[in-house]
Amino acid sequence: MNSTGFDTTNNELPEKDVMAVVAEKANADYVIAMEISQLITTRHLSMFQVKVVTKAKLKYKLYNAKQNKLVSFQTTGLSENKSVFGDVGYRDPITKALNQAMDEANTKIMNSL
């Protein structure tokens, strides 16, 4: 990415021309860029239950070098971790929400090939 002149500090997904250069330099058929655009984790407490809910939104750009085509899409994931007794952590619902969103993206990518 650095050799294309892409500025990674702007925190944006690369444009089509940058992805085309990456595909050419890497001799790749496809280039995929992904951004975690939203990751919200909330903790809910009641008298009998503790629940952690995570919502994840991922943005993707898929570049097809052969067709010189760029496709943009987003996916979402949602996960809950709850306990009647004891405490619940944040890692498991965050991991599950991200994995769910990435699995959805994988399906979209495979269907577009």
Q: Under a CB-based contact definition with an 8 Å cutoff, are residues 1 and 10 in contact?
A: no
The pTM assigned to this predicted structure is 0.85
Q: Is the pLDDT of residue 8 over 90?
A: no
Distance CA 52, CA 64 (A): 38
Give 30's pLDDT tier (boundaries 50, 70, 90): very high
Q: Under a CB-based contact definition with an 8 Å cutoff, are residues 63 and 31 in contact?
A: yes
3-class SS of residue 65: coil
Average pLDDT, the chain: 90
Distance CA 96, CA 106 (A): 15
